[in-house]
Structure 1
Amino acid sequence: MKVNALALLLPLFASPVFAAPLQLDVYNPQEKAIFPVSSTLVSGPKEAILFDAQFSTKDGEKLAQMIRNSGKKLQAIVITSGDPDFYFGLQPIVNAFPEVKILATPHVVEHIRATKDAKLQFWGPQMKDGAPTTLIVPQVTTQTRFTIDGETLELRRSNDYAAYVWIPANRAILGGTGVASGIHVWTADTQSPEQRRAWRNVLSEMQTLRPTEVIPGHYIGERPAGDQAIRFTGDYLHAFEQALGAKKGSAYVIKTMKAAWPGLADDSSLELSAKVNTGEMKW
């Protein structure tokens, strides 16, 4: 997913969301990176947990500095997806916090182990000096509930593509791979109608929680209010399914989706996803 520049861009460090008792600090490199992926430091008065660790080690370094600046004790790093943009940036963070546990579910760790070397071979030359020299595989955990200064966070749908984090105290969702905003939604890794239907079901589940804050796993521009990013992702997937159902090839799918959402960034994600899901390209 190569991101095209937009006129309206947020700073790398989004303004923290204050909702007692937990604070959410989001790092997203926007158009300056290959992937506009979100990492979120969730903290209380004394403790913090980092969810997801960026793609480039350069962004990982900035994320490590953000953690230092918080002054909070880093309890753990939780990786919610096996995609490389969620963990390739771990190396400088681990160097800065060598004692911290890096955790992921068996599903995520299995994905990482099966794909990490091929992903580095593919992406490394494009990342240049931002590529990791050491790939860090998280420790397997079955834990899906985490505590920060007495407040509970829940990793839900941990074995699904669209795993997400629910923070009851803030009524907030960290959307992970399942939620996007301002960009074409990446669907090349969900290559069957059943997989995409399951994804949409998770989005519906998210909406039943009535979140007041949603942090998309990938986004460009401003974060939309409330659950708008969830609604957008669901609407996009529905339209994508209808376009695929016409069975007119990837060019038709691409044209249809661009017409429906003419202002979205990341045309290359749509183009690749359309080719993969019409069977014109292997991924």
Structure 2
Amino acid sequence: MASHGLQTHIHVSSEKGLSSVSTLIVGSKAAALIDPPFLVPDANSVVEWIKQKTSLPLKAVFVTHHHPDHYFSANPILDAFPGATLYAAPYVCAGIDREYDDKVKYWPSVFGAENVPAKPTKPTPFHHSLFVLEGNEESPVLLLGPLQGDSVDHTLFWLPSERTVICGDAVYARSTHLWVEEVETPQLLDAWFKTLDLIEEGLRPEKVIPGHIEQGWELDAKADLAHARKYLQFFGEKVTYAKKKPGVDELYKTFKDAFPQADKNLDFFLGHLSNQFGEGGQV
């Protein structure tokens, strides 16, 4: 009997967990998850959500990039679904390895030891450019990368048969500020624009799944891509190509006022942006 293609469902983490997105890909005989959440309570929620969405076996969990809010609390998911393996592209694994010890020490001090695993599982390097789920061999999932997003090591997961792209933090929903702390040069900014070009002009997706979206917001491929591009253009104007370095408080207010609908986790996103690129101390 012919399968009916792959379905994608999203789970949005708590505001405390930075509203990161986990995506479940469900086929006719198996499922895979993209991007476990940051915090343990959100991971426990993902476990229950997966069980509600499908009774099919979870075969794999993938990570889009090395930032902790996209893999740190995979442990509860792997414990609940022992048949699943945690994977990431080799360049993502390298980024995780590079920062692992520092991040494992740091984040419990921010969120509390009960909210982050003492020893997050490191992904196994995935040395292939695609995977297929059993029963859906005609609907491959392609891994495109490394590409620039809010870090240099993004993988896009492209479902060509479904015209769906899972972007990690190469795209943020219009509800959310972008993490731009690591976009330290014009070349990195330009590379991020090129990733957006690839998505919009090369892939031409019908469904775009961003790395972060606030609770209650709907996915909107056109609007979210436009938001990401507008935000990066504004960042280029106010920071990358600014003739004068702005003050930290001015920078915070400028971005807050320019994107009033993005009103969550301001101290995290705008605090880091302002402290990284502004003058005059810390906000």
Partner of 1:46: 29
State the TM-score, normalizing by the size of structure 2: 0.86
1:41-120 counterparts in 2 under 5 A? 41-69=24-52, 70-120=54-104
Q: Given that residues 168 and 210 in structure 2 are in contact (C-alpha distance below 8 angstroms), is that contact kept between their aligned partners in structure 1?
A: yes
State the TM-score, normalizing by the size of structure 1: 0.86
1:158-173 counterparts in 2 under 5 A? 158=146, 160=148, 161=152, 162-173=154-165
Distance 1:52 1:224 in 2: 17
Cα deviation digits, residues 117-139 of structure 1 (max 9, x gap): 21122211332212102221111
Partner of 1:217: 211
Structure 1 unmatched runs, 5+: 1-19
Q: Given that residues 172 and 212 in structure 2 are in contact (C-alpha distance below 8 angstroms), is that contact kept between their aligned partners in structure 1?
A: yes
Cα deviation digits, residues 23-55 of structure 1 (max 9, x gap): 112111242x23110111101111111111101
Q: Aligned letter for 1:55?
A: F
Distance 2:117 2:72 in 1: 6
Q: Given that residues 78 and 84 in structure 2 are in contact (C-alpha distance below 8 angstroms), is that contact kept between their aligned partners in structure 1?
A: yes
Secondary structure at the counterpart of residue 204 of structure 2: coil
> Higher relative contact order by CA 8 Å / sep ≥ 6: 1 or 2?
1
Change over 3 Å in CA distance of 1:257–1:75 after alignment to 2:
same
Distance 2:58 2:213 in 1: 25
Q: Aligned letter for 1:179?
A: V
Matched length = 262
Structure 2 unmatched runs, 5+: none
1:173-184 counterparts in 2 under 5 A? 173-181=165-173, 182-184=175-177
Per-residue deviation, 1:230? 1.4
Find the partner of 1:230 among 207, 225, 229: 225
The percent identity for this pair of structures is 26
Distance 2:14 2:84 in 1: 27
Cα deviation digits, residues 81-107 of structure 1 (max 9, x gap): 111111111111111122322111111
Per-residue deviation, 1:280? 6.9
